[in-house]
Amino acid sequence: MTKSLLKVAILGGSGYTGSELLRLLLAHPNVKVTAVTSERSSGYLVSDVFLNFRNTDLKFELLDLKVLTKKADLFFLCLPHKTSQETAAFLFSAGKKVIDLSADYRIKNPKTYQEWYNTPHLFPSLLKKAVYGLPEIYRNQIKKSSLIANPGCYPASALLGLAPIMGKSFIDTDSIIIDSKSGTSGAGRSPLQPFMYCEVNESVKAYAVTSHRHTPEIEQELSSLAKKNIKVIFTPHLIPMDRGMLSTIYVGLKKNINLLNVQKLYQDFYINEPFVRVLKNGVYPTTKAVKGSNFCDLSIFLNKRNGKGRTLTIISVIDNLLKGASGSAVQNMNIIYGFDETAGLLNSPQCP
């Protein structure tokens, strides 16, 4: 007897996160992709827009929700903010499950959302029902939810790096500094001048200093973990490579600690997590070691220059398009539907 496949649709499938979702889902043993939308590429074969997809006859179509609700049970939203909040609300009211890769349902306080995204949140009651989709923290809530707010890429790297020590008495929560560097795919696929080859090649730059929209998302989730209000210094950088993200996180300490004890704390925290790898003491994470995979690699270092070890340095690396977006979305789908959590995601990182 042939098993029934879950019907899924990708809304906004002509960008990088949409194409990565399609790549993962076409190889997934439990799903069938029944629709992919794109306003700018409607009517074109997916394989005409993404030459790597020669194994599908799917065509991009317009975002007509009345038509689409008949085609799928689960919807991945790779849409701009504001558009996504309205689309998610329509699908949710139609009894569909939604995994939203935009920022529209990540920020729990609608006033904070409006402050950082310059638009009101039109569905505050639905905002309360959304679950933040970081499986390592919210797996049990994700299982029961019909609306998942998939984390941003910078927050995913930062939160996975900090989660094991939040709420611990030995850290100074007022001292957290997050220095993150991302490949240019994190800026999307639109042909904007700041992200053209000649602009980014042979150059590294900081941007959105003190004003990046992922800041309140990071602070919200750290505050939840620590059970107190947390503010951080967060600075993102653009680096001249296609994909990958490295976050170097600095945390002041209130007392001397033993690095091996902290190492064990991290290992115990992530012992049952299939996609978080705590590296051996002294091993440096690299973006190449997670490229094309859903893994997050972590290393912890202790600053002993003053002989007291008063600063903890955590290095976290992910593929910004996978663990930072599409990979975690598929992981969330697996959790919701009771599939093997690693289904479709155990491909080894690409090297070189």
Q: From first to last of the 352 residues of the chain, give the pLDDT tens digit.
A: 347 999 999 999 999 999 999 999 999 999 999 999 999 899 999 999 888 887 788 999 999 999 999 999 999 999 999 899 999 999 999 999 999 999 999 999 999 999 999 999 999 999 999 999 999 999 999 999 999 999 999 999 999 999 999 999 999 999 999 999 999 876 665 666 666 777 778 889 999 999 999 999 999 999 999 999 999 999 999 999 999 999 999 999 998 899 999 999 999 999 999 999 999 999 999 999 999 999 999 999 998 766 566 899 999 999 999 999 999 999 999 999 999 999 999 988 877 6
- pLDDT of 2 reads 47
Q: Is 351 a catalytic residue?
A: no
Helix (H) or strand (E) holding 54: none
Going from the N-terminus, what domains does the chain have, and what CATH number goes with each?
6-129 (3.40.50.720), 154-320 (3.30.360.10)
- pLDDT of 1 reads 38
Give the CA distances from residue 145 to residues 33, 142, 149, 152, in Å, rounded to whole numbers and listed in that order.
21, 5, 10, 19
* Token output for 200: 């980014």
Side by side, which strands form the sheet with 97-100? Answer: 60-61, 31-37, 6-11, 74-77, 97-100, 147-149, 131-132
Helix residue ranges, H only, the chain: 16-26, 46-49, 65-68, 83-93, 110-117, 124-127, 135-144, 153-162, 197-200, 215-226, 259-269, 327-336
Side by side, which strands form the sheet with 233-238? Answer: 205-206, 233-238, 177-182, 245-252, 311-318, 296-303, 276-278
263/253 Cα distance (integer angstroms): 15
Active-site hit among 153, 198, 296, 351: 153
131/105 Cα distance (integer angstroms): 8
Q: Answer whether the bond into residue 110 is a cis peptide, omega within 30°.
A: no
- Rounded to two decimals, the pTM is 0.94
- pLDDT of 278 reads 98
65/43 Cα distance (integer angstroms): 17
